[in-house]
Every structure is written in C-alpha cells, then in structure tokens.
Amino acid sequence: MRRSLTLVVALLCSSCVHADKTRSVATRAPIDVIELELAEAQRRMQTGVLSSAALTAAYLERIAAIDDAGPALAAVVEISPHALTEAEALDHERAQGRVRGPLHGIPVLIKDNIDVVGMVNSAGSLALAEHRPRADAPLVSRLRAAGAVILGKTNLSEWANFRASDSTSGWSSRGGQTKNPYALDRNPCGSSSGTGAAIAASLAAVGVGTETDGSILCPSAIQGLVGLKPTVGLIPGGGIIPISATQDTAGPMARTVRDAALLLNGMTEGTGDYAAGLDASALRGKRIGVLRQAMGADPRLDAIAEQALASLRAAGAELIDPVEIATWQQWGEHEFEVLLYEFKDGLDRYLRESGAPVSSLAELIAWNREHARAVMPWFGQDVLEQAQAKEGLDAPAYAAARAAARRLAWDEGLGATLTTHRLDAVVAPAMGPAWPTDPVLGDRIGGGSFGAAAVAGTPSLTVPMGDIHGLPVGLAFLGKPRGEAELLAMGYAFEQKTRARRAPTFRPSVTLAE
C-alpha cells in the first residue's frame, strides 16, 4: 500500500513544505551524495562549497528519484516538514561561528517506531497512521542537540516484525514492501529494513535503526552496511514503540565504521567519543574467537568468512579457532516467552501514555480484525494474540523465562565463552545472503550469529566482508557489555584492511553473470 509521492520543485527557502504525500526539493546544481561520508560532508560545509540546506535538498531529490520513482525502494515513508528549515538554521549557526560537532547539518533518517515531533510514529501500522507524538524520543533530542537534521522516517517490518509467525520482513501496512537495493526482488531483512535500504542507497548520510534480535545486524549485513547494536541501556529507550524492555535498543546504521561511531556519539551522552579510538592497527594483539557453530550451512559464505579471518590475522589479531558457545541456540524458547510478556506490558504503556489512536494491545488486535483487508492481506496477527494472552510481569512464568534466557545466552553462553578463552570478541558471519521476498510463504532467513548478544543485551557489530553474486554479507563481532568502543575499533581495522563495501546498483534480480 505504498503511497504515491509527488515531486514538487521549489526554490530552496524556509517556506518549503512537505507532507506525507509530497516531497519538497530545491532547484540548484546537482550535488553528488552517493557514498558521501560524514567527514567529507563536513569538510565541504566548512570550506563553504556546500551548505546543510543544499545537502538536505540533494537527499530529498535522491529520495524522489530512487525511493518514490526509479527502483521505488519504499524505504522512506515520510519526510519531515521542517527538514529544510532546520538545515537553514544550522547553516546560520555555522556562519556565526558555532559548529556543534561532526553531525552539524547532517541529514539523518529515523526508523518509524521512534517518536519525532511533527511526524507520525506508526510502527508501520495503519492503526497508528495519525499518531503524532507530543515530544521527541530522548535519542532524537540528543541528535538535534548534536546538530543533526531529522530528514524523515523509514519503513519497517510492521510492529518490528512481532505481529505474525509467517510475516515478510520489510512489509508494513503503512509503507508497503521495502526492496533490497542490491537486487530488488530480494528481501531487506529485519525490522530496520527501511533504514538499511535507505542508507545503502545513499538516501541520507546515516540512519537510526532499532533491534530486539537481529533487526539492526541483519538488514545491515545483507545491505552492505555497518550496523551496531549497542548494549541495552546505553541509548535511552524512551519514545520508542517497544517489544522488549530487556532486549530493545536503538543503534546506528551507516556506510562506514567511522560514520557509525560518529552517529553513536550523537545518540549517547557522557559515554565517551566512540570515534576517537578508530585506528587501522586496532586489531593487533586482540584475541578473537571464531564461532564455527554459526558456519557450515553455505560453502560460499564460509569461503568469504575464511578470507575475512585471514584479514583479521593479517591485521595482527590472534584467532582462537574454534570456540564454542556451550548453550548455542538453547535460549530461543525462553526468549520468545520473555518477548511476549514484555511486549504486552510495554506496548500497553506506550499506547496509553502517548495518546495513540488505539490505547492497548487488545484494542489494536480488534482494530486489525476490523480492517483486515488493508492491514492483513498477506499474514495475520498470531504473535499479537499470543502476547495478549499473557499475564503481567509479576507472573512467575515470566520471571523464570527471563532468568533462563539470560543464563543460557550470557552466563553459560557468550559471556562464559569470552571469559574462558580471554577473548576481546567472537566473530562469525552475521547472516547469509538476502533471500527472495515472498509474501505468501514469508521469510526464509538462514543462519544468524547475533542471537546470544541480542538476548544477553550485549553489543554486536557487523561490517561488510564480501558478497555472493553481488549480494552483500557481513562479519559479526560480538563483545562485552559497554564494549562498543572496542568493537568499533576492531571493526574499523577490519574495514580498512578489506574495503569490502560496494554501492548497490538496483538490479531487478540476481543473474549468473555476477
């Protein structure tokens, strides 16, 4: 149900207005924003050859050309009506000698489950298509304070892919089906699918995603991006439509490790400079465990992973190969129970306190039934119904499931492996390549090495490591709580050694020639 958006050409001025059905742009000389890194954008603005307003307008033009027309990625669901005005104000600040930092004047896209004043926050659902929060989420306030321009909202898997057991990633009743820019018939993966597609296609400088289990790592890995899932609690979770209080976190999605680190700086406060330690020699002397339990299903993926491991060694890392997580994938059943309980509790609270059009999970389920033709044309809402059937968080079954999930994922799982082998990180392929989108049969997700970190609430990072027939794959780094700086440093050294990222070409499909 992708809305048709009309391109309006206007003079670059503070009166430029955008609604959900109209994208405003400016008439001016073309600006090449493809693969533009934050440092280069800042250099151009500092030397006066580029302004934030012109940069913002250039991204709006690219959204109109690539997302609305052309490949029609359906990655961006709404443009901020204030984007150009905000950019002009930041240009004025720069002219007055005030530069807030590396994000000053940089256009950022935000996932459509995060509150932004003046814009809809829908979690992809038509039930919330008119829900306009009264305040920014704390992370959005921090980005504004850092000088970022909030460009718009990105599509996602409806309700962050927690609606149905047979759902298709990247589809929402509000935004339709997001396409993978590397092959348009392939899936973008994970609930942060729109942010992934948008940043891969250079529709903004950087983007914000959210993850409960894989929703930053997976769309980043299979769309050629750097994606960081931080330690739960590092970034404030207020103003985000929730699934799980113990697993949810927002995180940066970018085309380079440095850009991801700079965006993380803007999303956090008082936790240090995550870009300061980025050094091509950062892998020297690091003890890295090779998690072969997450390998073996695809010889092509394994071959690329072996090349990545060789690059780690060449960069000075000591590989402990193999290591095992003794409780590998035993946490899944307990995790799902926790998510059901926490989703009901957290969503009821968010809907009630934000003044949303539906005030509870029960009302949402009823609304979906009443509007099933529009909201549930492909798959239903069995996961929502399972969550509604749960008791409150004081239920003994919830406490038991939460304790078991934590024990299996961290205490006897990833944490035990890191401690036993004195590791700085564990690595494995993040995911296999993207699968064909199929709304009838749903997702065909294969592999995934990030589950332990997701359930444990600890950080994980994916960095491009190569491709299979032009479909990107990433190397995942799993680390210790609050170990984001170390993971980013190791990821940066790997990135500099391999330079594996390639820009998408918007192929209709995969061909044998590639």
Annotated catalytic residues are 111, 191, 215
Phi, psi angle pair for 228, to nearest 5°? -115, 125
Q: How many CA atoms lie within 13 A of 470 on its CB side?
A: 18
Alpha helices in 234-320 (DSSP H): 257-267, 299-314
Contact 192, 211 (CB under 8 A): yes
| 436-475 b/e (C-beta count within 10 Å ≥ 16 → b) | ebeeeebbebebbbbbbbbbbbbbbbbbbbbbbebbbbbb
Phi, psi at residue 336, to the nearest 5°?
-60, -40
State the residue for tokens 């104000």.
89
Question: Which amino acid is located at 450 in the chain?
Answer: F
Orientation of helix 361-370 relative to helix 332-354, angle to 10°: 90
Q: What are phi and psi of 237, to 5 degrees?
A: -95, 0
Cβ(182)–Cβ(223) below 8 Å: yes
**C-alpha pair distances (Å), 368 with each of 2, 373, 379, 381:** 18, 9, 11, 8
Secondary structure of 212-250 as H, E, C letters: CCCCCHHHHHCCCCEEEECCCCCCCCCCECCCCCCCCEE
Residue 162, classified by CB atoms within 10 Å of its CB into exposed (0-12), middle (13-18) or buried (19+), is buried
Write the single-letter amino acid at 364: L
421 touches 178 (CB < 8 A): no
3-state secondary structure of 185: coil
**402-417 b/e (C-beta count within 10 Å ≥ 16 → b):** bebbbbbbbebbbbeb
Burial class (CB in 10 A: 0-12, 13-18, 19+), 96: exposed
Tell me whether the omega of the peptide bond preceding residue 188 falls within 30 degrees of 0, making it cis. no
Q: How far apart are CA 37 and CA 246, in angstroms?
A: 33
